[in-house]
Amino acid sequence: MRVPRIYTAEDLSVGKLLHLDKEASNHLSRVLRLKAGNEIILFNGSGLDFESTIETIDRSQITVHIKNSLEQNIESPLQIHLFQGVSRGDKMDLTLQKGVELGIKEFTPLLTERCGVKLDPKRWQKKIQHWEKVIQSACEQCGRSSIPKLNPVIDLASALAAAGNQNFFLHPESSNSFKTITDINPGEPIALWIGPEGGFSDKETAQVRSQGITPVQLGPRILRTETAALAAVSAMNTIWGDFS
Rounded to an integer, what distance in angstroms lies between the CA atom of residue 151 and that of residue 23? Answer: 24
Same domain, yes or no, for 214 and 95?
yes
Same domain, yes or no, for 50 and 141?
no
Question: How does pLDDT run across 75-125, given as a tens digit for each residue?
Answer: 999 999 999 999 988 999 999 999 999 999 999 999 999 998 888 889 999
Residues contacting residue 139 through CB under 8 Å, at least 6 positions apart? 5, 7, 43, 100, 145, 146, 147, 148
Q: Where are the beta strands (DSSP E) in 86-141?
A: 106-111
pLDDT beyond 90 at 244: no
Same domain, yes or no, for 145 and 192?
yes
Rounded to an integer, what distance in angstroms lies between the CA atom of residue 57 and that of residue 123? Answer: 35
Residue 103 DSSP code: T
What is the number of domains present in the chain?
Answer: 2
CB 20 within 8 A of CB 5: no
Percent of the chain with pLDDT over 90: 86
Same domain, yes or no, for 149 and 126?
yes
Residue after which a domain boundary falls, among 44, 71, 98: 71
- Residue 193 confidence (pLDDT): 97
Residue after which a domain boundary falls, among 15, 49, 71: 71
Say if 120 falls within a structural domain: yes
Rounded to an integer, what distance in angstroms lies between the CA atom of residue 219 and that of residue 5? Answer: 38
For the entire predicted model, the pTM comes to: 0.94
Rounded to an integer, what distance in angstroms lies between the CA atom of residue 160 and that of residue 5? Answer: 37
Helix, strand, coil shares of the chain, percent, nearest 5, are 30, 25, 45
- Residue 72 confidence (pLDDT): 84
CB 136 within 8 A of CB 147: yes
Same domain, yes or no, for 149 and 206?
yes
Say if 31 falls within a structural domain: yes
Q: How confident is the model at residue 58 (pLDDT cuts 50, 70, 90)?
A: confident
- Residue 117 confidence (pLDDT): 87
Same domain, yes or no, for 111 and 222?
yes
CATH number, position 16: 2.40.240.20
Domain containing residue 112? 80-239
Q: Does residue 179 sit in helix, strand or coil?
A: helix
Rounded to an integer, what distance in angstroms lies between the CA atom of residue 189 and that of residue 67? Answer: 36
Residues 150-177, mean pLDDT to the nearest whole number: 92
Residues 62-87, mean pLDDT to the nearest whole number: 95
CATH number, position 132: 3.40.1280.10
Q: What is the mean pLDDT of the chain?
A: 94
| Exposure b/e, 44-66, CB count within 10 A at least 16 = b | bbeebbbbbebeebeeeebebeb
Same domain, yes or no, for 24 and 66?
yes
pLDDT beyond 90 at 200: yes
Say if 244 falls within a structural domain: no
Q: How confident is the model at residue 173 (pLDDT cuts 50, 70, 90)?
A: confident
